[in-house]
Structure 1
Amino acid sequence: MPDEPRWLTTTEMDAWLPLLAVINQLPQALDQQLRTDAGISHVYYSMLALLSNAPDRTMTMGQLARDSFTSPSRLTHAVTSMEKRGWVARCADPENRRIQNVSLTDDGASLLVRIAPGHVDEVRRRVFDRLSPTQVEQLRDIASTLAEQN
């Protein structure tokens, strides 16, 4: 007979259910804002933002997949789509031709400059404007702990 599961306590359930709502609602809301205001998905925006912060605005496909929490096949589809729009460019890594790099183009950077303010406003409205400075610090600590890889 297997051991009885460690059921959540009432206090844990009271924390879990609102977290579950945030996990489900926030990505949908951010995606909707970006699609409505800029015609771009949150996934694409995240990839462009990651590239904009990378050295020389370039990352390997593997690193971009890891950092954007995207499967390699989904990343390939996204990069192909963004490449057709002129937002990114792909090329073989000069040191290892088996590795593909993806770079943010000037058009991609211009797109980010144009749409980032609306996205930041939505993030502020949905998250940070509703929290005190102490809660923001607590959120940082909690999210960092939960995001750590085991």
Structure 2
Amino acid sequence: MAEQPAAEQPNWLDPRQLHDWKALAGVLVALPSALESQLRRDSGLSLFSYLVMAGLSEVPDRSMPMSELVAFTQGSASRLSHTVTQLERQGWVTRAPSPDNGRVTLATLTDEGLAKLAEAAPAHVTEVRKLVVDVLGRDELSAVGAACRTLLDALLGVGGCPGQTHPDPA
């Protein structure tokens, strides 16, 4: 009987790597939850809805093809469609065929949506400052940002940072 090759052993994390990975995993769970709670409490928005509206607010004409909005938010097409439908019901976003290409559907932030975003933003930025920006020093925040961009490039491809509509402010 032929001998089976031994299964390759996992490349386990060393104690320092495991310690750092657990810290990152904790942030990946706790931070979105905290931001979601604040947004729902103070403005009735989900974090994903806020990101959709914020993304639309930063582009010309406050309009973006749904396919680009999927990439921007890193959500699934189904999740984005469901969220945009909810935002449409509130009158905060519209969806319509692009005048340049009828096969493309544009999502557009309405004036009412921009007003809702402006209402939600102050408390949200206060929470972001409280949980992240003011906890880290400028150098630490820059290092975390650089590390996150490196991770996003590995996950999404070089330059794949969602929401990166502005160049590095240096």
CA distance in 2, matches of 1:78, 1:137: 31
Q: Secondary structure at the match of 1:130?
A: coil
Whether 1:101 and 2:106 are equivalent positions in the alignment is yes
1:2 CA displacement: 2.2
Tell me what 1:79 maps to.
84
1:131 CA displacement: 0.6
1:87 CA displacement: 0.3
Tell me what 1:54 maps to.
59
TM-score, normalized by length of structure 2?
A: 0.86
Provide the aligned C-alpha RMSD in A: 0.9
Tell me what 2:72 maps to.
67
Structure with the higher helix share, 1 or 2? 1
Consecutive unaligned residues of structure 1, counting only runs of 5 or more, are: none
Identity of aligned residues (%): 39
Tell me what 1:30 maps to.
35
Q: Which runs of 4+ in 1 moved over 2 A?
A: none
CA distance in 2, matches of 1:120, 1:59: 24
Point out the structure with max Rg over C-alpha. 2
Q: Secondary structure at the match of 2:107?
A: strand
CA distance in 2, matches of 1:44, 1:50: 10
1:136 CA displacement: 1.1
TM-score, normalized by length of structure 1?
A: 0.97
Aligned length: 150
